[in-house]
A = this chain, B = another copy of it.
């Protein structure tokens, strides 16, 4: 099995994690092993809070990820149960783990952001693309339709007819088109610098607040929050960061969130 994921802290800011997709010579195509690693790493992010404030998701060698590792496909795809186990037991849980983390995720997108790569980017909170990045899901050329759980994450960022266009035409779109359609938030020349600056802005704010905001967004998108979730939400009333933020504003000084209480 080829390829792997690497997780490390940023050299100049330990509050920022770097999650790198790496499959050299294959445009970081995502192997079954890599989906499994992605699931494990994503599932472990919440336990790293509060020292981890944000994670940049990126690919090795100026390429995000070109999709799944198709050389592996003949091993398991032509049997219905094994095919379903791949999509629902490997890919979907990895994407779900990314969506489930309360740690802010920033996709740093260069080169191909295609198929499984686009799915991973769609699970991030922010997407920052280089001018030459390209986006799509051209799997009809491989003779198969998109798995519903994967289509759901693309649908959330591309919309009904954007997703239809990706799938029916199997065409790639460029970064300006992706920006115009809201598929990415920013198109810049130096994605690494912009992703780090963005992570730095997020890291300068209380991690507990970012986590609470991500939870509320997820609850609202799931039709909530429930009564219990709502009650829990307002538990921050007496927190140190809440008191400090408001005190600093009214005293016209910058807040000091360094001593944040874990929550």
A-to-B contact residues, CB < 8 Å: 54, 70-71, 73-74, 77-80, 82-84, 87, 104, 125-127, 140-148, 151-152, 155-157, 159-165, 167-171, 179-182, 185, 198, 201-202, 205-206, 209-210, 212-214, 216-217, 219-221, 224-225, 230, 233-239, 241-247, 249-250, 255, 257
Chain B nearest CB from A56 CB (Å) reads 13
* A247 closest partner in B (C-beta): B74
- Chain B positions within 8 Å of A219 at CB level: 148
Greatest chain B CB density within 10 A among A164, A169, A249 is at: A169
Name 8 A/B residue pairs within 8 A (Cβ), A-sorted: A77-B246, A126-B164, A145-B213, A148-B225, A151-B220, A162-B182, A164-B217, A169-B201
Given contacts A155-B217, A237-B83, contact A246 B125 (CB under 8 A): no
Q: Would you list the 3 A-B pairs with minimal beta carbon distance, nearest first? A: A143-B245, A145-B212, A143-B241
Q: Are B80 and A237 in contact (CB under 8 A)?
A: yes
Chain B nearest CB from A226 CB (Å) reads 10
Q: Are B165 and A125 in contact (CB under 8 A)?
A: yes
Q: Are B242 and A78 in contact (CB under 8 A)?
A: yes
Greatest chain B CB density within 10 A among A87, A127, A250 is at: A250
* A229 closest partner in B (C-beta): B148
* A125 closest partner in B (C-beta): B164
| Of the residues B71, B74, B214, B257, contact of A164 by C-beta under 8 Å | B214
Chain B nearest CB from A95 CB (Å) reads 14
| Of the residues B155, B205, B220, contact of A141 by C-beta under 8 Å | B205
* A173 closest partner in B (C-beta): B185
Give Cα A75–Cα B214 distance, bound, in whole angstroms: 27
Given contacts A146-B213, A160-B217, contact A73 B205 (CB under 8 A): no
| Of the residues B142, B164, B167, contact of A246 by C-beta under 8 Å | B142
- Chain B positions within 8 Å of A217 at CB level: 151, 155, 160, 163-164, 167
| Of the residues B126, B127, B157, B225, contact of A168 by C-beta under 8 Å | B126
Given contacts A143-B257, A235-B80, A237-B79, contact A250 B70 (CB under 8 A): yes
5 additional A-B pairs beyond A145-B212, A146-B213, A169-B202, beta carbons within 8 Å, are A74-B247, A143-B255, A151-B220, A167-B217, A170-B201
- Chain B positions within 8 Å of A185 at CB level: 161-162, 165
* A170 closest partner in B (C-beta): B205
| Of the residues B152, B202, B225, B238, contact of A220 by C-beta under 8 Å | B152
- Chain B positions within 8 Å of A163 at CB level: 217
